[in-house]
Amino acid sequence: MGDLVYATAVATGLISSAGATASAVMLYRVGEIGEGTAVVAILLTTAASVIVKVALAAVGSNKQFATQVAVWSGILLAVAGVATVLVTL
Tell me the pTM: 0.83
What are the residue boundaries of the structural domains of the chain, listed by start?
2-88
Residue closest to 69 by CA, chosen among 51, 59, 56, 54: 54
Asked whether the predicted pLDDT for residue 23 surpasses 80, the reply is yes
Q: How confident is the model at residue 81 (pLDDT cuts 50, 70, 90)?
A: confident
pLDDT in tens, 28-62: 999 999 998 999 999 999 999 999 999 999 998 99
Q: How confident is the model at residue 89 (pLDDT cuts 50, 70, 90)?
A: confident
Please report the pLDDT score of residue 88 as a whole number. 74
DSSP per position, 37-57: HHHHHHHHHHHHHHHHHHHHH
